[in-house]
Chain A
């Protein structure tokens, strides 16, 4: 955690990690306070408080979860980048990324294949993924369609890349 602090009294900015004033202080440097080197005002350093650390860990965890949900990433999606130019099922493309249609896998009913083709799913057609939960939503040209996972996992696409 960044430990640059601005003193509320005299507005000096200092780095709490360096413990600039602790050397002169009768209390040992493990107190939860930090003193401003200029005016001596006692500033609470959140980085030294265990409770604050715990709370901020929890907050970061939730932030990450919320961010992923916000992007519509599914529960199984890895959030690291997939190597370029790979052929993967549509379900593995992260929201906001593009992919290019390759082919359909077995197991799709004829009518879904016909419909997907009619929506514009042709070889090399660019697809923009909008979300993956609770359902896959993609944009093809200026058409947005929603497909359930049973379908999108059988659509093979090529990822961005060389």
Chain B
């Protein structure tokens, strides 16, 4: 469906960059996938932990396509949205392509205006036309395109419908001449502002409007590019303008746009359509139902834990560790290294206790890789199916006490599978505060599946009361520290407001591409960290710091925790491999070195103890080194403190003596 009779240049110009922008859940990724195929790279946008996906479109003569996170409106309110704005502000884009939801035309057009005003060549892909048709929504796309003076293509990305027309439309992109007139006083101030701000990627007009609406990132950019006096002039202009209006400038601008959109929609929307039916609708309603939603929730969470925590972290890891690496790869590597007859130092560097191979590579490929893969697959399915928001909606009430909202359920549950991966999932949370709080709780009080099995087994073999004591202590610590940190960490609690998109069947192609791209990211950005960390550990060990730590820890372990001195070594081991640490304690118990009381204290210690080294790396990556150090310094003493108190309480109460 082409909307312009413009002379077409026969070949798409080379070296172009296009950004895909749009609301969440409109199928941007599906469009992106259809345009770029498998050639995608995922990386964090500089200065953020937000995933930006880059791809090249062969059909468009290797145009680079940038997929941005969903954005509801400008000014951006969440980290995700800010990253999108950064892409628009700083990348030299040749065109902006909005992917919109065909059935929600009014919402879509509100964003369209904001994007078109930015001045770049623009195209609107009205996606999910099948869903619009199913609901009886009818839009006169040609008329709409005429009104806005921009090309509009209807697409059904999941089936590839309209993609050819989209590619055609994208190969020729012309400047847009769209102009919406705001109230006179505002227009006058816009003109004044435009005179004073320097040229940039986006049109001066759109920057002026963002400035008037008090957008933080635009503000920073303006402050950074003009001198103080000019900035003061602009600020004064804005203040004076605000005085002339009862509502905020942001609201007034919004109102003008809304009137325009309402006007257009009344012309082009032929039928508003009715409600939905079908399995997606029924299942969708059930999934948030106060009664039926619960079993569905438990089913999904159970499946998630099983797939990542049991299959991934258990079965796959075991298989790789014993069969693949244990029997085949390791012997070969060991033989090879030994055959080099290198000095002991070098040999140990590779295959010693903290060897680059024995620890670093093993960690990254044998232990974490299977977990990462199952995790990315599970996460991709949750994302694409549309169930994730429903999960958050149902569990919201539980998290209010902890100063969080329902979005936190995902990392918490995944944490029972693997805390390292769960830390990565904190990206679903909207604000830095939320991410920090959840990361802290994950590191402190969520036991990952690696140790959970051994811990539960050991406690069960003592008595039911042992398990209860352990559970209660961990639960109370979780709730209390959660509540306390929510109180102390500055910032407001994010009230839950989330869209519930229709439940959709995830596309295997989409999930495969996303998973592969994320695995590539993992190999490129996380594995080197492991190798670096291993080297550091190795050096620390050689220099004698690690043995010293164990020795130094012994008085604490013996005197305060009431455990045998050997437990200190087990705890240190637990830092490297959760399961080894727990197993070390298990061995001590079978040798009769730990009485029941000591077992409980040891289990509490290892659960609350700082997370494994992989998690520490992930936390450092996501939250920064300073925060990580702060957390470690907080958690470490706290874990020992609580375990010691427990020790005394249990002795005092005469439990099991």
Contact = CB atoms under 8 A, between A and B. Distances in A.
Contacts of A151: 495-497
Interface string A40-72: 000000000000000000000000000001101
Interface in A99-157: 109-112, 114-120, 122, 130-131, 133-135, 137, 141-148, 150-151
Contacts of B132: 142
B495 A145 contact: no
B565 interface: no
Contacts of B289: 70, 72, 131
Nearest to B500: A144
B86 interface: no
Nearest to B272: A141
B78 A111 contact: yes
Contact of B273 (A112, A130, A142): A142
A143 B496 contact: no
Given A72-B290, A130-B285, A148 B497 contact: yes
B72 A150 contact: no
Interface string B397-417: 100100001100000000000
A70 B289 CA distance: 8
Contacts of A119: 72, 107, 499
Interface string B99-114: 0010110110011000
Contacts of B290: 69, 72, 131, 133-134
B258 interface: yes
B497 A70 contact: no
Contact of B288 (A109, A110, A137): A137
A109 B495 contact: yes
A147 B497 contact: yes
B17 interface: no
B613 interface: no
Given A118-B72, A135-B496, A141 B107 contact: yes
Interface in B478-530: 492, 495-502
B621 interface: no
Given A115-B73, A117-B73, A122-B258, A142 B498 contact: no
B497 A114 contact: no
Q: Chain A contact residues (Cβ within 8 angstroms of B): what range?
A: 20 to 34
B75 interface: yes
Contact of A150 (B101, B135, B495, B502): B495
A111 B77 contact: yes
Contacts of A150: 495
Interface string B253-281: 01000100000000000001100000000
Given A137-B288, A151-B495, A146 B73 contact: no
Interface residues of B, number: 47
A14 B656 CA distance: 72
Interface string A62-101: 0000000110100000000000000000000000000000
B365 interface: no
Q: Which of A110, A111, A120, A122 has the most CB of B within 10 A?
A: A111
Given A116-B497, A150-B495, A70 B107 contact: no
A143 B291 contact: no
A43 to B, nearest CB: 38
Contacts of B293: 134
Nearest to A135: B393
Contacts of A70: 289, 291
Nearest to B248: A110
A130 B254 CA distance: 27
B98 to A, nearest CB: 14
Contacts of A122: 258
Nearest to B72: A118
A155 B500 CA distance: 19
Interface string B283-317: 01100111101000000000000000000000000
B397 A118 contact: no
B52 interface: no
Nearest to A109: B492
B104 A146 contact: no
B185 to A, nearest CB: 22
A110 B495 CA distance: 12
A112 B495 contact: yes
A137 B78 contact: no
Interface string B374-414: 00000000000000011011101100100001100000000
Interface in B35-84: 72-73, 75, 77-78
Given A131-B290, A135-B393, A143 B499 contact: yes
B137 interface: yes
Given A143-B499, A151-B495, A118 B107 contact: yes
27 contacts: A69-B291, A72-B289, A109-B492, A114-B75, A114-B77, A114-B250, A118-B73, A118-B107, A119-B72, A134-B290, A135-B397, A137-B393, A137-B500, A141-B107, A142-B132, A142-B135, A142-B137, A143-B101, A143-B107, A143-B499, A144-B500, A145-B497, A145-B499, A145-B500, A146-B390, A146-B396, A147-B495
Task: List 9 A-B pairs, minimum CB-CB distance, nearest first.
Answer: A111-B77, A118-B73, A146-B393, A118-B72, A142-B103, A144-B500, A148-B496, A133-B290, A135-B393
Interface of B: 23, 72-73, 75, 77-78, 101, 103-104, 106-107, 110-111, 132, 135, 137, 250, 254, 258, 272-273, 284-285, 288-291, 293, 389-390, 392-394, 396-397, 400, 405-406, 492, 495-502
